[in-house]
Structure 1
Amino acid sequence: MAQPPQDQERKYSAASREEVFDEIDKEEKPPSLVKGSAVLSRTNSIVSTISNESGRDIKLRTMSWKKTAAVLFGEYVCLAIMSFPASFMALGMVGGIIATLGIGVITLYTSMTLWKFQMKHPECRDICDIGYKLFGNSRIAYELTTFGLLANNLMILGLHTSTGAKVFSTLTDSQQCNIIWAVVTMVICILLSLPRTLTQVSFQSVISAILMFTSVMLCMVFAGIEDEPAGYVEGTVVKASALAPPGTTFVAGFNAILNITYTFIGQICYPSFIAEMENPADFPKALYACTVAEFILFTVPGIVIYYYMGQYTVAPAFAGLQPLYKKIAFTMALPTIIVIGVIYANITAKYLFNRIYRNSHHRYSNTWQGWSMWVALIVIIWILGFIIGEAVPFFGDLLSLISSLFDSFFGLIFWGYAYLVLNKGNWFTTKKQTFWTILNILIIIIGIIVFGVGTYTSIQSILNDYAVGAVRYPFTCASSAI
């Protein structure tokens, strides 16, 4: 069985990857690996994935910072943007803006901490390796992080198969069994998930981001020009509130914050993105470009759509449009639903593939065995995602549950603790250092609160929805059209 990276560490401060390998070559090499060995050297881990890639069929470190930015755009310019107007309704316009900017700044800061940690430990190739190194080379931490990675990503795949079915049901107005549409979505996703490198997914991500941006723009325009939102009650006044409207419960308010958190936090994939970059030192360029776009794309639609739909705002916001407008805008979102699923499927399958073939040439060669295993993994994880998507058939509540269970760790707790590890011995040496130390302790505390309180509110919201009949039953043929 494959093992996490070895205990060796080195500051990854070189300006380019060539300098890094020159430095590595000067170091004493560990013993060679033997078949079945539990040892995996840092030198073999890095040099074998980059320095020797020129003679390999499948090259992993091929992403420029621009391609990395494209993949980030593909991950973040997503359907979850359409949950922001509903979050703004629950929190009020002012509360929604403050929550969006606050969570965005925290996410940017923790993402930079992640990058710094991985630069110090370049042998880390995914979030599981990070968990291993972060918690003192702990095998238990490695396996728990693995569980979190697989559970989080499979839930996201389930979200995308069920949402794809929702789109097809909405667009066709047919009486076709909803499960059939979910299967259609799954098959499309399987086919597009077959490329083994993220650089091949970057082109899909660009198209996805452009179409989703178009969909968001159309939704804002349609919300402004339609006579009244869907579900409008004759004689009522459509109004938006600066503050949380009367009657907003703690569960509704906290779930609104969790939905915003889910959309911002995607650090579970970052180590895999960085590991496939030509020059990981360029990652901040991609991160800053994406963050600026996030602030605009998350805040503006939240304000505009909530302003025009008022108390009739729902998640996703497309459901608040009149039928024709809804179909036009929703159509543009379908590729995004598929491509983001492809990104998470790639990360998940690649982790499993690397664990199975960590010391094998099948990882980098076009062998029958390697490709058979890759295809099998892709099919299996999408089938599992499909099962989860049909077993948990609700959108907003699933976002909240994912956010509380996993984003609390992979978006907050991990990186607050990573700062403490990186700066061990210097926590309170200066006033500036004391400030950053206290800030990161607060980030850890916030993560714990999100995990505990968030899990409670998410589950309670799910129970409430079932109690009032707001969601369909698992594995039902009933239409999920919005």
Structure 2
Amino acid sequence: MDSLDYEKRTKVDLSSDEGEKRSAQSSPRDYEAQSLRSLVEGVDVFGDEESNDIHYKTLSWPFVAILMIAEIVSNGMLALPNALAVVGIVPAVILIVFLGMFALFTAKLLIDFKLNHPEVHNMGDAGYILFGPIGREILSAGTVVFAICATGSELLSGQQALSTLSNQGYCSMWLLLIFAAAVFLVALPRTLGNLSHLGLFSVGLIVFSGVLAMIGASINPTEGRKLDVVVTTNFYDAFLAITNPVFAYAGHFMFFILMSEMPRPKDAMKAATCLQGFSTAFYVAFSVVMYVYIGPTIQSPALLSLPPLWSKTTFAIALGNFLIAGSLYSHTAAKLVFMRFFRRTRHVHSHTVLGWVCWILLCLLAVGVAAVLAIAVPIFSYLIGIVAAVFASWYTYGLAGFFWLHDTYHLEGGWKAISRRWIGTIFALLTILMGAFICGAGTYVSVKLIIDAYDNGLVGHPFTC
């Protein structure tokens, strides 16, 4: 569906005298009303920034692609080779490619929705347009919860890397806290543009780590390994393996926030194409090579299956990516809450004491909660699977169908447009059904995994090394 002309949408200039006066007179309880009014009025998120102190709309499409690759390829790559061991090479590769193509399709629907609704800054704003106030609260809360859990996942990866480098010689809890402090500092810049060059560095690190891991696996193959083209397995084990490639593309919840900081949001599709094309190709190459040389004993993360020296080297290189990916997730959680309460106030675009204090506290809270969960909840690594199943299934896949149906109905002629564009309608409905299936099956598998972990005594204790 063709998007409306972005430049023709209504904008608000917060740098004007009237805007400054209105912002200065706002009390904290007025912020929510102002944020809601901007949604109702269809106002561009950041408006005209020419004379503002802080400029958000500085992201070019190549750097949007880089930030997304830095965030998505991070832990996603390391978990995929294990899927080949469970279902076989051919089904796993087909699944990875299909999900990459499907994620590109749903990205197109998300991007069109954002171009049609420049007031949308995050999934919560989109939820308000689709489902009203309740939808806004659910999708906003889901985004924050998912971003914090993703931050915790990166903290665990960082802790695992540091433990590997230290030969398990230091308390893992303290290593995680040290890594969390570094993530907090990297997340502090107010705009994503200030993180974009770090994103380039992060992509270089994770790609180099992956290439080096493939070289290490080829030099040190597992003797007597048995490779399977197709593996017959039960639904539980199969879907448990499938969740890795499904959630390896779970970055769509950041699309709206990233597009809001682009001076040319129309270029977002170029970034999405670059992201999905690169990630899919790299996922397939890394997964196949690692599985072919290591075989069915490959672990998750895959770097643990390498000899000690290679494992330490690849973990050390990937550590920078875990750091930056974690900062992107925590930045996203903080940005959503910050914009929820300060949208259309001078605290967004000016260096005010209140604005900076709140921003720092939100970043600290996002990273702090993630760290506490990772340390205090013994089943946190399993809990991440449930959160991903409940929210990522909809953010990456299911909601895109609702976006298409909503805009086709409201912008192109109601039910006649829905029936006239029946092919698009069918794809939209299938997208919704797929999101529902992944959500239901993924939640079932994750819950069963927790039960099995408790039954087998695999669950540890909180606040231990």
TM-score by length of 2: 0.90
| Equivalent in 348, 355, 361 of residue 370 of structure 1 | 355
Q: Does 1:196 align with 2:181?
A: no
CA contact (8 A) 2:67 2:200 kept: yes
Quickly say closer, same or farther: Cα 1:213–1:393, change in 2 above 3 A.
farther
- Give the secondary-structure state (helix, strand or coil) at the position aligned to 2:263: coil
Aligned length: 446
CA contact (8 A) 1:259 1:403 kept: no
Aligned to 1:319: 304
| Equivalent in 200, 204, 209 of residue 210 of structure 1 | 204
Q: Does 1:272 align with 2:269?
A: no
1:164-200, CA deviations, whole angstroms, 9 ceiling, x for partnerless residues? 1111111011432111001001100011111010011
Q: Does 1:13 align with 2:4?
A: yes
1:438-457 → structure 2 map (5 Å cutoff): 438-457=426-445
Consecutive unaligned residues in structure 2, runs of 5 or more: 14-21, 410-414
Quickly say closer, same or farther: Cα 1:195–1:203, change in 2 above 3 A.
same
Give identity over the alignment, percent: 27
1:268-312, CA deviations, whole angstroms, 9 ceiling, x for partnerless residues? 110001111001111011111111101111111111111111111
1:131-170 → structure 2 map (5 Å cutoff): 131-135=127-131, 138-170=132-164
CA contact (8 A) 1:12 1:20 kept: no
CA contact (8 A) 1:211 1:335 kept: yes
* Inter-partner Cα distance in structure 2 for 1:156 and 1:419: 27
Q: Does 1:476 align with 2:464?
A: yes
Aligned to 2:225: 238
* Inter-partner Cα distance in structure 1 for 2:273 and 2:71: 15
Report the residue type matching 1:128 in the other structure.
Answer: G
Aligned to 1:231: none
1:9-88 → structure 2 map (5 Å cutoff): 13-14=4-5, 17=7, 19-20=8-9, 35=26, 36=30, 38=33, 40-41=37-38, 46=43, 49-51=46-48, 53-88=49-84
Aligned to 1:409: 394
Report the alpha carbon displacement of residue 101 of structure 1 after superposing the two structures with TM: 1.2
Report the residue type matching 1:241 in the other structure.
Answer: D
Report the alpha carbon displacement of residue 408 of structure 1 after superposing the two structures with TM: 1.7
* Inter-partner Cα distance in structure 2 for 1:358 and 1:111: 25
Aligned to 1:256: 241
Greater Cα offset, 170-179 or 88-97: 170-179
TM-score by length of 1: 0.87
CA contact (8 A) 2:338 2:359 kept: yes
Report the residue type matching 2:230 in the other structure.
Answer: L
CA contact (8 A) 1:258 1:403 kept: no
Consecutive unaligned residues in structure 1, runs of 5 or more: 1-10, 25-31, 229-235, 478-482
Report the residue type matching 2:173 in the other structure.
Answer: I
* Inter-partner Cα distance in structure 2 for 1:419 and 1:348: 26
1:94-126, CA deviations, whole angstroms, 9 ceiling, x for partnerless residues? 110111111111111111101111111111111
| Equivalent in 361, 367, 387 of residue 346 of structure 2 | 361
Aligned to 2:447: 459
Report the residue type matching 1:406 in the other structure.
Answer: F
- Give the secondary-structure state (helix, strand or coil) at the position aligned to 2:229: coil
- Give the secondary-structure state (helix, strand or coil) at the position aligned to 1:264: coil
CA contact (8 A) 2:303 2:311 kept: yes
Over the aligned positions, Cα root-mean-square deviation in angstroms equals: 2.5
Aligned to 1:282: 267
Report the alpha carbon displacement of residue 399 of structure 1 after superposing the two structures with TM: 5.1
CA contact (8 A) 1:259 1:400 kept: no
1:123-149, CA deviations, whole angstroms, 9 ceiling, x for partnerless residues? 1111111111122xx111111111111
1:211-253, CA deviations, whole angstroms, 9 ceiling, x for partnerless residues? 000010111111111153xxxxxxx720111112x5x332221
1:168-187 → structure 2 map (5 Å cutoff): 168-187=162-181
Aligned to 1:308: 293
* Inter-partner Cα distance in structure 1 for 2:171 and 2:92: 37
* Inter-partner Cα distance in structure 2 for 1:63 and 1:386: 29
Aligned to 1:381: 366
Quickly say closer, same or farther: Cα 1:42–1:440, change in 2 above 3 A.
closer
| Equivalent in 109, 120, 125 of residue 124 of structure 1 | 120
* Inter-partner Cα distance in structure 2 for 1:42 and 1:450: 30
Report the residue type matching 2:141 in the other structure.
Answer: F
* Inter-partner Cα distance in structure 2 for 1:297 and 1:469: 36
Q: Does 1:93 align with 2:89?
A: yes
Q: Does 1:335 align with 2:290?
A: no
Q: Which has the higher helix share?
A: 2
- Give the secondary-structure state (helix, strand or coil) at the position aligned to 1:269: helix
Report the alpha carbon displacement of residue 42 of structure 1 after superposing the two structures with TM: 5.5
Quickly say closer, same or farther: Cα 1:22–1:190, change in 2 above 3 A.
closer
- Give the secondary-structure state (helix, strand or coil) at the position aligned to 2:76: helix
